[in-house]
Amino acid sequence: MSTAEAPLALVSGATSGIGLAVARLLATQGHRVFIGARDAARIEATVKELRAEGHQVAGRTLDVRQDTSVRDFVAAAVDQMGTVEVLVNNAGRSGGGVTADIPDDLWHDVINTNLNSVFRLTREVLTTGGMRHKTRGRIINIASTAGKQGVILGAPYSASKHGVVGFTKALGNELAPSGITVNAVCPGYVETPMAQRVREGYAVAYDTTEEAILERFTAKIPLGRYSTPQEVAGLVGYLASDAAASITAQALNVCGGLGNF
Ligand SMILES: NC(=O)c1ccc[n+]([C@@H]2O[C@H](COP(=O)([O-])OP(=O)(O)OC[C@H]3O[C@@H](n4cnc5c(N)ncnc54)[C@H](OP(=O)(O)O)[C@@H]3O)[C@@H](O)[C@H]2O)c1
Identify whether 261 is part of a domain.
Answer: no
Identify whether 245 is part of a domain.
Answer: yes
Q: How far apart are CA 114 and CA 156, in angstroms?
A: 10
Q: What is the 15 CA–ligand 1 centroid distance (Å)?
A: 9
Q: Are residues 217 and 112 part of one domain? A: no
Q: Are residues 168 and 60 part of one domain? A: yes
Identify whether 260 is part of a domain.
Answer: no
Catalytic residue among 157, 189, 202, 226: 157
Q: Which pLDDT does position 189 carry in this prediction?
A: 97
Give tens-digit pLDDT for 37-89: 999 999 999 999 999 999 999 999 999 999 999 999 999 999 999 999 999 99
Give tens-digit pLDDT for 90-135: 999 999 999 999 999 999 999 999 999 999 999 999 999 999 999 9
Identify whether 127 is part of a domain.
Answer: yes
- Edge to edge, what strands does the sheet with 57-61 contain? 57-61, 32-37, 8-12, 86-89, 137-142, 180-187, 251-254
Q: Are residues 211 and 119 part of one domain? A: no
DSSP one-letter string for 207-222: TS-HHHHHHHHHHH-T
Q: Going by DSSP bridges, is the β-strand pair 137-142/180-187 parallel, antiparallel, or unpaired?
A: parallel
Q: Are residues 211 and 101 part of one domain? A: no
Q: Are residues 247 and 195 part of one domain? A: no
What range does the domain containing 44 cover? 3-189+228-254
Q: What is the 2 CA–ligand 1 centroid distance (Å)?
A: 32
The band of 4, judged by pLDDT with boundaries at 50, 70 and 90, is low
Number of domains in the chain: 2
Q: Are residues 240 and 220 part of one domain? A: no
Nearest alpha carbon, ligand 1 atom 45: 92
Identify whether 172 is part of a domain.
Answer: yes
Identify whether 109 is part of a domain.
Answer: yes
Identify whether 31 is part of a domain.
Answer: yes
Query: Is residue 2's pLDDT more than 50?
Result: no
CATH of the domain at 105: 3.40.50.720
Q: Are residues 148 and 131 part of one domain? A: yes
Q: Are residues 89 and 213 part of one domain? A: no
Q: Are residues 88 and 22 part of one domain? A: yes
Q: Are residues 219 and 127 part of one domain? A: no
Ligand 1 atom nearest residue 227's Cα: 3
Identify whether 259 is part of a domain.
Answer: no
The band of 3, judged by pLDDT with boundaries at 50, 70 and 90, is very low
Give tens-digit pLDDT for 188-230: 999 999 999 999 999 999 999 999 999 999 999 999 999 999 9
Q: What is the 37 CA–ligand 1 centroid distance (Å)?
A: 9
Element (H, E) at 183: strand 180-187
Query: Ligand 1 pocket by C-beta < 6 Å: which residues?
Result: 12-19, 37-39, 42, 62-65, 90-93, 113, 142, 144, 187, 189-190, 192-195
Q: Are residues 217 and 142 part of one domain? A: no
Burial class (CB in 10 A: 0-12, 13-18, 19+), 228: middle
Q: Are residues 214 and 157 part of one domain? A: no
Catalytic-residue membership of 157: yes
In a 13 Å sphere around the CA of 151, the CA atoms on its Cβ side amount to: 26
The answer to whether 121 and 42 are in contact (CB under 8 A) is no
